[in-house]
Amino acid sequence: MRTTIGIGLLGAGTVGGTLLRRLVGDHEAILAKTGLDLQVRRVAVRDPAKARSFELPAELLTTDPRAVVEDPGVDLVVEVMGGREPAGELVAAALAAGKPVVTANKELIADRGAELIELAAERGVPLLFEAAVGGGIPIIRPLSETLAGEQIRRVAGIVNGTTNFVLTRMTEEGAELSEALAEAQRLGYAEADPTADVDGHDAAAKAAILASLAFGVWVPGDRVDREGIGDLDRIDVVYAAKLGYVVKLLAIAERVGEVVSARVHPAMVPVDHPLASIRGATNAIFIEGPSIDELLFAGPGAGGEPTASAVLGDVIDAARETLAGAQVAPRIRFGEGSLVDPGSVETKWYVRLDVEDRPGVLAQVAGAFGDADVSIEAVWQEGTGEDAVLLIVTHRAPERAQRAAVAALEALEVVRRVGATIRVQSDGP
């Protein structure tokens, strides 16, 4: 019985290099445990002469990624080069050639996932991407297999390790955002250009994938309502703690009536909620449903080791399916559906106002909220004298109404400045 699978890698950076070490160094252990003889046949790299953390014969390295896809000795393609292109073209070519593909590329899956999943289904081969969302956290397979029959209501959580590390430092050590981000870069949690993390692009791509799998309606990455942490002020992290909250960047996908909502934004999470205790670069994802109530998946969400572990798990799964010789059906089928208008999603808001400290100010502020049909849950005042700071938490109201209230506040003469607006997580994760 055939047990050998030829592996071709597109990329050998942090994740690819770690995966290669595992495939080569743990070859006998994998063979003993799974019966699979996983043989590295070709690896695409930018610079074959570069010093690397793994040892491979020079003839296995190539600068032409197409050569990996077209190599007749490669039975399974692993894409860990990142980016939309040429990764998308190469993955499509591999699938079209009837070769299974494993990828950790959340940007690609969020952008072209529906198309590539359909192509994989047409060819009857696996397209697996467990590492694209939670790094080392198994979340794709539970959503698409174990919980395929569950009427999931919501998937929400912390899916970006860089921003969670930054927010942890701001919360626990009083660091400014720039200081915490610089530390994340020194420790290797953040890239030299951290824009994708700080502005929420990374989390939005993951939210799109989670929403698509949870609800069976494909959600493109560019349709996720996105807000990052770039404008977050340390003082609001301090005020959040005084009010009993911790600030986290959340990715939320939920069914709202007959439509689907997917969004990413900073949120004030109650200190007694499990997500509030998720520290450092750790990720955590909640799934809510009528039968399961709440499930929590947590663990390392970034880095070469945990991500490579998830990729290796997919490689083993895809290899088994390939050797079985049967046509592989897609794990999730995507039907028709629509996305909610972000302005209609109901949320609670925290609003920080710098105001004149004189009689009648609170009445004018309350009037601005009332005119927008937003009711106030609580108000706190910080400081006295000529100016004061008002901290306001609203009741749930449509985003459109909350924004209208803020616009009205900005027009008030007694309001010096709207210092911050942050959603408040009020129910569910």
Active site residues: 206
Q: Look up tokens 């040892």; give the residue.
A: 55
139: CB partners within 8 A, 6+ apart: 130, 133, 210, 285, 297
Query: Residue 358 corresponds to which tokens in the numbers above?
Result: 């004189």
Name the 3-class secondary structure at 172: helix
Query: Residue 194 corresponds to which tokens in the numbers above?
Result: 């951290």
Q: Tell how strand 4-10 and strand 76-79 pair up.
A: parallel
Q: Look up tokens 């430092």; give the residue.
A: 169
8 A C-beta contact, residue 244 and residue 271:
yes
Q: Look up tokens 């990624």; give the residue.
A: 65
| 290-to-139, 179, 339 alpha-carbon distances in Å | 18, 43, 22
Determine the length of the chain.
429
Q: What is the dihedral of CA 245, 248, 251, 255, to 10 degrees?
A: 0
Dist CA 95 CA 32 (whole Å): 29
Dist CA 73 CA 262 (whole Å): 41
